[in-house]
Homo-oligomer: A and B are copies of this chain.
Amino acid sequence: MNIFYNSCVDCTLKSGAVSLLDQKELCILEEGCSKILFHKGELIFKEGSPAKHITYIRDGLVKLVKKGIGGKDFILSISKGGSYLGLQNLNRDTRDNYFSAIAVTPTEVCFLDIDCFAKLLDQNGSFAIKVISTIFNDEMNYFERLVNNVQQQLPGRLANTLLYFCKEVYGQNPFNLNLTMVEVAALIGTSRESVSRIFKEFQDEGIIKSEKKQITILDEAKLEKIRHKG
């Protein structure tokens, strides 16, 4: 884990919201900002621990994990560069992390002091609106997943997930899933064995090709069809 002391003013990877801030406001942000590098598998923050920061993912993939019944993990989402984590903690009543964040690939994040961040929201309404917008982009994903996980069967959920990773996360066709079968299972709420079975089905039917962790979607139309009820 490497720590850099950096300057928000000169930062070249500003989020859409932060780019609305002026020089003086960036200095406020900078006061409570530290940039840190995490290796694959490292814990960025842990569910239940007190939250003092908003976490901005500069680059990399992060899984957000919440413990369910019997301590069984559920992956709320896979977040990529440009996302804010822990905005929930702006709510003064709940200052504990609601989920854990774990690096799935090497990941660079900024920890932004929560009080500095709140100060900026208070001062700059346009900034606040932009932040609210990004919150809702995420929220809609949760809605989708809620509905899909409940209404779809496993093949549909897996098809969904594969298309999501291909289109939204990586934006390229042969792509590296970066997740183990156990993680995929925790993502769509099933068992490792079932994921394995359906993966095999998809391969047998020539819908996908999968060697090592490299996945190629061969028949996107068919995958879309399964997703819409197959």
Q: State the A residues within 8 Å of B (CB).
A: 66, 68-70, 72, 74, 76, 87-88, 90-94, 98-99, 118, 121-126, 128-129, 131-133, 135-137, 139-140, 142-143, 145-152, 156, 188-189, 228-229
Residues of B close to A98: CB separation below 8 A: 140, 143
CB distance B148 to A146 under 8 Å? no
A144 nearest in chain B by CB position: B66
Asked if residues A132 and B90 are in contact (CB atoms below 8 Å), the reply is yes
Whether A69 lies near B156 (C-beta < 8 A) is: yes
By the criterion CB–CB under 8 Å, are A151 and B91 in contact?
no
Copies of this chain, complex-wide, total 2
20 contacts between A and B (CB under 8 A): A68-B151, A68-B152, A74-B147, A74-B150, A76-B143, A87-B132, A90-B129, A90-B132, A91-B133, A91-B136, A93-B133, A98-B140, A99-B143, A121-B128, A122-B125, A122-B129, A132-B132, A132-B135, A150-B188, A150-B189
Q: How far is the CA of A69 from the CA of B122 in the complex (A)?
A: 41
Rounded to whole angstroms, the CA-CA distance of A139 and B99 in the bound complex is 13
Q: Is the CB of B140 within 8 A of A70?
A: no
